[in-house]
Structure 1
Amino acid sequence: MVLSARKWFSRFVFMLLFIGLFVVATGGYDWLVDVVSPSNPYEVPQGEAVKVIWHSTYEWDNGNIADRLRFFYWYGE
């Protein structure tokens, strides 16, 4: 069995390039996610923006299932 140094060197260079490009691609993806995503999606909006959160105070234990289903289909909650 003959071991070729040139063949093993080319494999080694290929693996180094593959690992290097993989690290660059994953680092670039992490950087892009940090740039695009908001820092805190739950903070109070600034300017004229309105944060729409509504908590129902209706007692569902006292209502019937028809009222609950009607509310679900009407408001989607």
Structure 2
Amino acid sequence: MKDPLERWWERLQFTLLFLALAVVVHGFFGWFHGWLDPDDPYRIPEGKAFKVFMTGEGSDPDVSPGDRLRLFYWLGE
């Protein structure tokens, strides 16, 4: 039969190993989530890119957003 101190030491080793692996797996999933998570979709585009659909006044304030979207799909730009 094992000594109670030896059993205690084995349980402590198992607990520490389990906690270390849990921290590693948690870190991996955090990194993986950050890798999958897209960039901020509401940020201002850079370079030659521009937002296609903006709320508020456009070039013609009488045109509804649905008409502007329909025009976008029709022209394909």
Normalising by structure 1, what TM-score? 0.52
Q: What is the CA–CA distance in structure 2 between the aligned matches of 1:45 and 1:36, rounded to whole Å?
A: 20
Q: What is the CA–CA distance in structure 2 between the aligned matches of 1:37 and 1:44, rounded to whole Å?
A: 18
Count of residues in correspondence between the two structures: 56
Identity among equivalent pairs (%): 28
State the match for 2:24 in structure 1: 24
Structure 2 gap segments, 5+ residues each: 57-63, 65-77
Aligned structure 1 segments of 4 or more residues deviating by more than 2 angstroms: 43-48, 50-55
Q: What is the CA–CA distance in structure 2 between the aligned matches of 1:26 and 1:51, rounded to whole Å?
A: 38
Structure 1 gap segments, 5+ residues each: 58-77
Q: What is the CA–CA distance in structure 2 between the aligned matches of 1:24 and 1:18, rounded to whole Å?
A: 10
* Higher RCO (Cα < 8 Å, 6 or more apart): 2
